[in-house]
Structure 1
């Protein structure tokens, strides 16, 4: 099975669950990014962003325009975040050719979750969402020394252009299919259930802990 075919795939429950995040997850996202050390911030943002710029970045994320995906741990902490930013389709005159619509993807994974396929799953989820949204091209920019992203890009068959220590990777996507639409819907449902269970468990722990201390 080739990589494009796997974007449709089956509706089986994936090992790593990826959920679309929203405004209520902004604080968790901030904690995730602030926990990245200088080396990881460099790989994620292309520069070592100071804390105040990370605060500004998280606050400026427009959830009505972009899509942010996350992977939560057993203790309801974000251990992987993928930001899918869309370039607006340019207005064209009637009869003119519509320019391709492009989405840019950036991903970060906590050290505690490395080697579990979190980055690859975030990329796969972003790719299938782009496909189902009629996005023509998925784009990633990263340092050439980012071995994890280079591995993901090569595995996906992306076209990679290296220049001045940076790499631009492009993946041209096929149109959506009933299978790809079904897969995304089912995976989001699995992830939503998992997210809700972990959130409730976390809330229960917080609720009972003060009681125990007062006894």
Structure 2
């Protein structure tokens, strides 16, 4: 990935990388996704190669199965976050799926994480940043246990899991990793709120910049 592409993810258009680091905020704007982003999520997943689809879903899903998966995303229950590249293209997405609980259940509130990242975006820590953003959300939502279910040969996912001190267990070609979540507090809620606002402003700024560049190019041509 070029240095120009890396710079696109930094925060300087809003705050500055050093200030973000001092405040404990993400150095990469990570935007919460909603119903309006469904077509962009679909485009992102359809752009994955067969091997990446296998690693993301444990099977190399076809286009129809991926479209069905995206259609069934319940934004009122689950949370999704994404990293945008130029031209409003989603380059990475993390999906937090909350496990349903029966009324009166004493089981810990739990959630599962799924991550997808464009192949040429790897090696720059973007997957780890998406996971950390997801951890912010589940902690503030009262999730007590977080799970990752993946294949034993998904080295990139397992590296992130171990980096975040998740407990990893392998069985029958599948891997389960889980992490017990500390309760959120006022400080974690404020930090997530600030991260959200900065990401939204940064995304809007860059969208406007893209529009201006296209307008300028039209004028010149």
TM class by shorter chain equals 0.7 to 0.9
Tell me whether 1:22 sits opposite 2:34 in the alignment.
yes
TM-score (norm 1): 0.86
- Give the whole-Å Cα distance in 2 for the aligned partners of 1:112 and 1:207: 28
- In the TM superposition, residue 75 of structure 1 has moved relative to its aligned partner by 3.3
- Where in structure 2 are the equivalents of 1:37-186 lying within 5 Å? 37-92=49-104, 98-186=106-194
Q: Distance in 1 between matches of 2:24 and 2:176?
A: 32
Where structure 1 has 5 or more consecutive residues not aligned to the other structure, the ranges are 1-8
Deviation string, structure 1 residues 182-202 (Cα, Å, up to 9, x no partner): 211111111111111122233
Residues 40 and 128 of structure 1, relative CA distance in 2, 3 Å threshold: same
Q: How many residues align?
A: 201
Q: 1:54 to 1:206 in 2, by over 3 A?
A: farther
The equivalent of 1:3 in structure 2 is none
Distance 2:90 2:54 in 1: 19
C-alpha displacement of 1:207: 5.3
SS of residue paired to 1:180: helix
What CA RMSD, in Å, does the superposition of the two structures yield over aligned residues?
1.9
Deviations 1:108-162 (A, max 9, x none): 1102211111110111111111111110101100111111111111111111110
Q: Taking structure 2 as the reference length, what is the TM-score of the superposition?
A: 0.84
The aligned residue for residue 192 of structure 1 is 200
Identify the residue that residue 6 of structure 1 maps to in structure 2.
none
Q: 2:86, 2:210 within 8 Å by CA — same for their partners in 1?
A: no
Tell me, in whole angstroms, the C-alpha distance in 1 between the residues paired with 2:22 and 2:140.
15
What is the alpha-carbon distance in structure 2 between the residues aligned to residue 25 and residue 205 of structure 1?
A: 23
Q: Does the aligned pair in 2 maintain the 1:131–1:174 contact within 8 Å?
A: yes
In structure 2, runs of 5+ residues without a counterpart are 1-20
Matched-pair contact (CA < 8 Å) for 1:34–1:51: yes
| Cα distance per residue 1:35-94 (max 9 Å; x no partner) | 1000100000000000111111111111111101100113321110001000123211xx
